Amino acid sequence: MGCDAGFDMVPPLSKGVEDREKWAQFIEEVKNIFASDEKVEFKRNYINFNAGEHPKLPFQGHKFLRFSSKITGSNASATGVEHYIEMVTEMTKKYFRPRVYYWNELYDRHGKYSWTEVNASLDSYEAPPEAEEPTELMTSLTGNDTPKNLEALIFEIKEVPGKGKGLIACVDIPAGTRILCEKPIFTAQARSREELEQLIAMKLRTLTKSSQRQFLSLHNKSPGKYPFSGIFKTNALPCGPDSQIGAVYPTVCLINHSCLPNAHNNWNTSKEHETIHATRPIKKG
């Protein structure tokens, strides 16, 4: 049967302005790089790589879930499809690194999406282009230009039985929606509990009363001698996958943990904000 390899976009791109523009830049680079490659065919709605199982890239990024093919067998070897997968993966990382999930069945690493979802995505490439400009409400729901009152539109903060405060969806939220983009209350680097306690105490003195209350209202699973560092260690998220700097947030830190998450967090380096995207549809309530 052969082994597949490729990458998934997790979470999927939205129809928002930022995602659209970045995808357009990415597609333009792909066109330039492969302009003289006879195996790369530029169709009306997508780019087709005539290698392996013909992986494709749509011109509308919100339709895209996966770029993959079988990489074992005579056809894969003869057409060099693995080379194309590696090249496109690296090019995509240039624009969407935190969302590019590379997988390879040779190493028992599998894609994030089911083949039913992927095939539906591929079928959508053949359909006429969808309107790129969403309505004002859908811009709020699926775009990357998040309005300041986004939480008033799609979620509310409520007490969740047995879990404290949490975010509850006020509407059905599509997969790929950017739910939240939030600035940290403050950041701090990893250090001993005593040093961290002193550092946070200093930072708190520089904050507004409102920000102080936001921090102090967060859950602390290790109350005791070091209350500030306890709150920080309970709630802090790293500012990037390899960062030694953590951050706490007034709203992001209220999102409840799940072994089967429906959302994905990511540090936006350019904006210095934490973003939360829905990885699958979230029902109201």
Q: What is the dihedral of CA 75, 76, 78, 84, to 10 degrees?
A: 140
pLDDT at 131: 57
pLDDT one-digit tens code per residue, 95-117: 998 899 999 999 999 999 999 99
pLDDT of 139 reads 46
Residue 130: predicted pLDDT: 66
Question: Which pLDDT band, with edges at 50, 70 and 90, does 153 fall under?
Answer: low
Q: What is the mean pLDDT of the chain?
A: 86
Confidence tier at 147 by pLDDT (50, 70, 90): very low
Residue-level pLDDT at 102: 96
Q: Quote the pLDDT of residue 94.
A: 92
- The alpha carbons of the chain give a radius of gyration, in whole angstroms, of 22
Distance CA 20, CA 125 (A): 16
- Of 46-50, 86-90, 91-95, 240-244, the least confident: 240-244
Does residue 60 register a pLDDT over 90?
yes
Fold that domain 137-278 belongs to in CATH: Beta-clip-like (2.170.270)
pLDDT at residue 164 greater than cutoff 80: no
Max CA distance (Å), the chain? 67
pTM of the predicted structure, to 2 decimals: 0.53
Query: Alpha carbon of 118 to those of 16, 36, 112, 223: distances in Å?
Result: 21, 29, 10, 46
